[in-house]
């Protein structure tokens, strides 16, 4: 990057996207039209590292949102398999175990959230919306 300072180029933006979509560094470099050595060198540049982290977070956030969207259908599928008389007993038992395990984790999460909220109130750190006496 000699001569370019820390300027973040369009090629670097393309390389960030390629690293998220291509199966490996070689394919990412090839898809952008740069050498693997250049891409490896760019990966050591703080601005490039930051952009790659941000892009990965955004992609992961989208994946989490997709999981949340699909969770209703997943629960319905587990419920159907659990009560499906024609399904093998082992399948029904696994579905039942999954439902129980996830329900227990949900209760634990609710309990933890309630405890954290109580600790925040006790410490004088109200949640957003509680600062002025109620929801905004």
Q: Confidence band (pLDDT; 50, 70, 90) for 2? A: very low
**pLDDT over threshold 70, residue 134:** no
pLDDT of amino acid 3: 45
**Cβ–Cβ < 8 Å for 8, 47:** yes
- In this predicted model, what pLDDT tens digit does every residue of 76-109 receive, in sequence order? 999 999 999 999 999 999 999 999 999 999 999 9
- In this predicted model, what pLDDT tens digit does every residue of 35-80 receive, in sequence order? 999 999 999 999 999 999 999 999 999 999 999 999 999 999 999 9
pLDDT of amino acid 130: 56
pLDDT of amino acid 125: 73
pLDDT of amino acid 128: 62
CA 101 to CA 94: how far, in whole Å?
Answer: 10
CA 104 to CA 127: how far, in whole Å?
Answer: 26
**Cβ–Cβ < 8 Å for 22, 61:** no
Number of Cα atoms under 13 Å in the Cβ half of residue 12? 19
Query: What's this model's pTM, rounded to 2 decimal places?
Result: 0.58
**pLDDT over threshold 70, residue 131:** no
């Amino acid at each position: 990057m000699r001569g370019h300072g820390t300027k973040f180029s369009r090629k670097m933006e393309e390389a960030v996207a390629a690293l998220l979509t291509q199966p490996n560094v070689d394919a990412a470099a090839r898809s952008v039209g740069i050498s693997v050595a250049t891409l490896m060198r760019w990966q050591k540049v703080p601005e490039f590292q930051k952009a790659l982290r941000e892009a990965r977070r955004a992609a992961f956030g989208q994946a989490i949102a997709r999981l949340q969207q699909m969770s209703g259908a997943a629960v319905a599928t587990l419920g159907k398999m659990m009560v499906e008389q024609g399904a093998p007993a082992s399948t029904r038992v696994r579905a039942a175990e999954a439902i129980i395990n996830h329900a227990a984790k949900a209760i634990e999460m609710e309990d933890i959230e309630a405890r954290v909220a109580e600790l925040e109130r006790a410490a004088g750190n109200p949640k957003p919306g509680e600062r002025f006496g109620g929801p905004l």
